[in-house]
Amino acid sequence: VMKGAPEVPDAIRKCYDAGIDVRLVTGDNPNTAVSIAFQAGILRDTHFQPNTTERVAMNLKENVLMEGRDFRSKVYRDGPSGEKEFDQVAFDRIWPHLRVLARSSPDDKLTLAHGLNQSTLFADKSICKKLRDEHGINVFPDRQVVAMTGDGVNDSGTEL
């Protein structure tokens, strides 16, 4: 999959080295998304269940990969008048683990960017310590800064 873009894994590694956390948000199916993300270096062996060798969706740890519809069902709740409301607390339980969002829509990308921008998870030092110690996840010590790129016209409304 990365045959046409051999520079991508090195660019992703440089992002991580600079403290930039990279995620893949795509309309592709989960296994295609996992393959691309693994080859690009967005997913690493630590994101997969222990004692698994196949780098496929079903072998990922919880919340590392989500499909758009599952993501929406977990981060939105029914409001008092029946409309959907964004649930920042639920989002903050998911986003530190999330690396790949597959079968997603442009609205899912916007929800991800909005949720990251609004997150104050960094202020809860005990949660940050638990994420680091138990899952190897580092939460930056301040608000998340979000940048997005896209490859199609559907992405134009969500780029920041």
At 44, list the tokens.
């690493």
Tell me if 27 sits within 8 A of 103, measured CB to CB: yes
Tens-place pLDDT, residues 110-143: 999 999 999 998 888 998 888 888 888 888 777 7
In this predicted structure, the answer to whether residue 153 has a pLDDT above a threshold of 50 is no
Find, among 89, 92, 105, 85, the residue nearest to 63 by Cα.
92
Which whole-number Å values give the CA distances from 65 to 81, 92, 98, 156, 157, in the listed order?
Answer: 31, 15, 6, 24, 23
Q: Which residues of 106-119 are buried (b: 16+ CB within 10 A; e: fewer)?
A: bebbebbbbbbeeb
Q: Under the phi-then-psi rule, with left for phi > 0, alpha for psi from -120 to 50, and beta for the rest, what region is 54? A: beta
9-35 pLDDT, tens digit per residue, is: 999 999 888 878 899 999 999 999 999
Question: Could you give the domains of the chain?
Answer: 2-137 (3.40.50)
Q: What is the pLDDT of residue 149?
A: 72
C-alpha to C-alpha distance for 83 and 139, rounded to whole angstroms: 31
State whether residue 67 is helix, strand or coil. Answer: strand
Please give the pLDDT value at position 90.
Answer: 97
